[in-house]
Amino acid sequence: MFDVAIIGAGIIGTAIARKLAQYNLQLILIEKDSDLANGTTKANSAIVHAGFDPKPGTLKAKFNVAGNRMFEALCRELDVAFKQNGSLVIAFSEEEMLTLNDLAERGRHLGVPGLEIVGKEKLQDLEPGLSKEARGALYAPTAGVTDPYLLAIALAESAANSGTEIRCNSAVTDIVKTGEKFTLNCGSEEIEARHVINAAGLYSDQINAMVNPAYFQIQPTRGEYFLLDKNAGHFARHVLFPCPTKLGKGVLISPTAHGNLIVGPNAETVDNKEATETTAQGLSFIRENAEKIKAGLPLHKIITSFSGLRAKTSVGDFIVEEHSHTPGFINVAGIESPGLVSAPAIAEYVADLLTEKTGPLEKNHHYCPAGKRHSAFINLSEQEKTALIKEDPRFGRIICRCENVTEGEIVRAIKGPVGARTVDGIKKRTRPGGGRCQGGFCGPRVIQILARELNLDPEDITKNNPGSYILAGLTKEKQLKVERSGAAKETCPAESRDLKKAQAGKDHYDLVIIGGGPAGMAAAIAAREKGIDDILIIERDHELGGILQQCIHNGFGLHQFREELTGPEYAERFIDQLEDKGICCKLNTMVLSVGQNRRITFINNQDGLSAVQAGAIVLAMGCRERTRGAISTPGTRPAGIFSAGTAQRFVNIEGYMVGRKVVVFGSGDIGLIMARRIVWEGGEVVAVIERKPYSEGLVRNYVQCVEDYNIPMLLEHTITNIKGKDRVESITIANTDQNKQPIGGTERELQCDTILFSRGLIPENELSMSAGVTLHPATGGPVVNEAMETSVEGIFACGNVVHVHDLVDWVTEESYKAGRGAADYIMRYGKVPEEGFSFQTTPGKGINYIVPQQIRTALMNNGVELYMRCDGHHENSALIAKAGGKTVKNMKKKILTPGEMIVLKIKPEDLPSESFKELTVELDKGDA
């Protein structure tokens, strides 16, 4: 028999559990889902409100102000992020200024400290770049942002360490009171308790109705959000609110506790307590309203969108009471905003309600106020990092590249009293998959670690609740009668190779190449051939070759080797050369930053946190896939949504099927090739969906991957909704108009269990930014010159980090150039030849971009290849290059498409002899 059973492990249930754990009570915390913090706590604004907004006299007002005062100490104690960045409610009219005065008055009356009405000028100081229309604002310095789910988990850990039992996957289906005893029916077991606390959030009305009259109803009210990349986090300093209306606080813009930017929510009453899908209407409403507060929102930096449900009641206030009908049963219900900030105050109040009944309670001598360490490894000091890696080398292995989360943190998240059991559980605790690639790179590795630590098969690992399976069996299942050999063991494929290991402690290299894919390998080989001996390649993966290793299809090497190779074959030719030439590599090594004087900070589990200084650097980090989140495809967020490249890794390297009934969204080459792979492994491809009127991939891939297998290619279609709670169940598709937008009324449903997104690639330049390299808006990669040198002297770049290539052969060619350029630079000690002149390349009509962007004639040698892409499908056009008022090249082109890179070689003799500033390339569309 427990003294107290708490139903619901959201922020409220966990705060109450920890508070009560201070007393000598037998406690149990019961959660219906597979993890804590899985409802409203998981998806909200994460704002710690100052407290001027609620009506005086309400519980909301009381708990908000009190909770805000407790918040800083609580987060410090639990090692959870809390940034008290202050909030601004912004007025755009005289009328709204009056509302601000009322709010300020109300806030002062409620005891909110530091409130100030700021005028136009001070407002621009506080929040530069705000719309000039803003008249003034109410500044509340005590408002802030936190990490709500980690806070709930930390509260639960503290409770668990103090003796509280925690039961997940346990839904209360009935409660019976006999005498002083409650019996909770939780499916497979019955739990008995003297007191029950109903903190069941959206379901608190149903739990209440098990023992009480149904005196309140929860009306789920959905709020949708956008989350933007960390490099957009600085867009707002404060929590920015519009002036509140009857409908609520409105669409806010705020940095998050982790430095991202959050934008939202709307407020829509829904009739389903699981309706956490996003909608096209909701997301466009948020976009429009956010623009009103601060224009220029960098929407291209959206990494995901999500929605959460508020547990609103008709009462309009929190319900925190024991109903007279059932003594011993305390409702904590209707905890909508400002519930998060109120949680610690509500917990104290509930403890008071309980002691009123029980009399003074004995202290729990085993009370443990703190849980585990939660500070992200990457935010620790250099000394702390080094010490941790020494203690446990797994802290030296970065698993999530976007958030720099280490294996040590993931293991820590799994171990312990309320450890993660699911991929989402890991993400809530340590954030892998919460970054810009949305788990594209780290997802397979997180599954491996979970399976290893929990002693499960990777196929048994779910995204969230049971049913949200990620892997759908093994490839070659027929063959595997005995041993189910799935994901890679902890051995390293490169160990079988004879690659030269870097000398430990060596802290200077003539040339350091970041990335050991096709670009990095070619750059190393070219530099070595030019006479540079002292080269280091730093690679984050456990082997060289990059993405080629998972591209097991053929079609590589036609230009470089005049034969058709598969990706691994192409890679192996280069790895062999590196081996022969004795070029040093550090594998499993993540570069964290490139600083002044070409100092590269990196981390691995052998050197720990370390740095090298380079005479020259070649950036060759490649690209990442554009995710479902980045393009804001509306719908739910179940398992079964992959980017095509992630699926490719699962199928080709790890040997897992990603689904059985697959839709491919986007007709890029990776998507088409994956469609055929799925068919070849016994799956079904329901359709390939393309928004444009033509397939984006190579004709060959269309014919041999799609047409050969009678896969429907739905051109001028888009996905307007994704359905399915745990796993994808179906999608809604619609025809698109000329602007690639869905046409209303053309929607229809397709059944599927998996969606592969093949919606383009994005050069991965976070390190380039840390080095101060200028990026080009059209390519997304560094601006480079003819030697592939970036805007920062001595830093070169090549391959997909510069611009996305369609053929690896061009990557190799470009990377040889970068390697030679870096070698020249090293041998010239940075001195630039003075003869000649330099000119820019400028894309003209019909051309989207040209690489390189700058050319020095003295270094053109016998010519420079210009790589460029055109803006559409053009037949029978002419490609014209002009410089200094003269046409220097005029080439007839039978067919040009955006999918195929145009290569135009300019030789010195083509150019006017007198100096000019600009070479323009344009497309003369002729009669086409």
Partner 1 sequence: METKEMICILCPLGCKMQVKEKTNQPGELSVRGQQCKLGVDYAYDEYANPTRTVTSTVVIQKAPLPRLPVKTSKPIPKDLVFQALDEIARVEVIGPVKIGDILIKDLLGTGSDLIATRSL
CB of 696 to partner 1, least distance (A): 11
DSSP state of 703: I
Minimum CB distance to partner 1 smaller for 513 or for 902:
902
Please, what is the minimum distance in Å from the beta carbon of residue 577 to partner 1? 14
What is the C-alpha radius of gyration for the chain, rounded to an integer number of angstroms? 30
Closest CA relative to residue 37, chosen from 343, 387, 357:
343
State the nearest-atom distance from the C-beta of 494 to partner 1, in Å: 8
The distance of closest approach from Cβ of residue 814 to partner 1 in the complex, given in angstroms and rounded to an integer, is: 21
- Please say which residue, 168 or 571, places its beta carbon nearer to partner 1: 571
Two structure tokens written together for 492: 């390293």
Tell me whether residue 158 or residue 897 sits nearer to partner 1 (CB atom): 897
Cβ proximity to partner 1: between 73 and 703 the closer is 703
Structure tokens at 731: 């999608």
For partner 1, the closer CB: 572 or 809: 572
Residue closer to partner 1, measured from CB, 1 or 895: 895
Nearest to 221 by CA among 121, 309, 313: 309
DSSP one-letter string for 126-178: HSTT--TT--EEEEETT-EEE-HHHHHHHHHHHHHHTT-EEE-S----EEEEE
Pick between residue 909 and residue 927 the one whose CB is nearest to partner 1. Answer: 927
Question: Residue 355, by phi and psi: left (phi above 0), alpha (psi -120 to 50) or beta?
Answer: alpha
Nearer to partner 1 by C-beta: 364 or 554? 554
Residue type for position 240: L
End-to-end CA distance of the chain: 83
Specify the residue, 365 or 489, whose C-beta has the smaller distance to partner 1: 489
319-322 and 329-333 strand pairing: antiparallel
How distant, in Å, are the alpha carbons of 147, 349, 358, 548 from that of 159?
A: 18, 17, 20, 48
DSSP 789: B
Q: Letter for the amino acid at 742?
A: P
Note the helical H segments in 605-721. Answer: 644-649, 669-680, 699-701
State the nearest-atom distance from the C-beta of 893 to partner 1, in Å: 10
CB 520 within 8 A of CB 618: yes
Evaluate whether 505 touches 586 at the Cβ level (below 8 Å). Answer: no
Between 322 and 681, whose beta carbon lies closer to partner 1? Answer: 681
Is-catalytic flag, 109?
Answer: no
Instruction: Please identify, using beta-carbon distances, which residue of 366 and 892 lies nearer to partner 1.
Output: 892
Distances (CA, A) of 121 to 94, 117, 198, 388: 16, 12, 48, 47
Q: Enumerate binding residues for partner 1 (CB under 8 A).
A: 475-476, 478-480, 483, 485-489, 491-493, 495-497, 549, 552-554, 564-566, 568-569, 571-572, 652-655, 680-681, 698-700, 702-704, 707-708, 875, 894-897, 899-900
Min dist. Cβ of residue 567 to partner 1 (A)? 8
Are 12 and 346 within 8 A, CB to CB? Answer: yes
CA-to-CA dists, residue 328 to 14, 146, 165, 756, 776, angstroms: 19, 33, 20, 51, 65
- Cα 91 from Cα 242, distance rounded (Å): 7
CB of 703 to partner 1, least distance (A): 5
To partner 1, the closest distance from the beta carbon of 699 in angstroms equals 4
CB atoms within 10 A of CB 519: 33
How many other CB atoms are found less than 10 A from the CB of residue 476? Answer: 11
Packed helices 518-529 and 567-581: angle between N→C axes, nearest 10 degrees: 30
235 touches 261 (CB < 8 A):
yes
**Which residue number, 469 or 702, has a Cβ lying nearer to partner 1?**
702
Beta carbon of residue 432, minimum distance to partner 1 (angstroms, whole number): 22
Q: How far apart, in whole angstroms, are the C-alpha atoms of residue 412 and residue 420? A: 9
CB of 488 to partner 1, least distance (A): 5
Nearer to partner 1, 140 or 923 (CB): 923
Closest CB 163 distance from partner 1, rounded Å: 43
Q: What are phi and psi of 611, to 5 degrees?
A: -145, 150
Let me know: does 836 contact 764? Beta carbons within 8 Å.
no
Q: What share of the chain is helix, strand, coil (3-state, %, to 5)?
A: 30, 30, 40
Would the CA dihedral through 271, 273, 279, 281 be positive or negative? positive
CB of 478 to partner 1, least distance (A): 5
Lookup: tokens for 10:
């959201």
* 427-433 long-range Cβ contacts below 8 angstroms, 24+ apart: 428/35, 428/37, 428/42, 428/149, 428/150, 428/153, 429/150, 429/153, 429/374, 430/376, 430/405, 431/258, 431/376, 431/400, 431/403, 431/405, 432/399, 432/400, 432/403, 432/405, 433/400
**Shortest CB 779 distance to partner 1, Å:** 21
| Cα 122 from chain centre | 35
Residues 6+ apart with CB under 8 A from 622: 515, 517, 519, 546, 547, 763, 764, 799, 800, 801
Q: Each residue of 614-651: b (16+ CB within 10 Å) or e?
A: bbbbbbbbbbbbbbbbbbbbbbbbbbbbbbbbbbbbbb
Q: Which of 1, 3, 11 is nearest to 332 (CA)?
A: 11
Out of 49, 258, 776, 874, which one is annotated catalytic? 49
Residues with a known catalytic role: 49
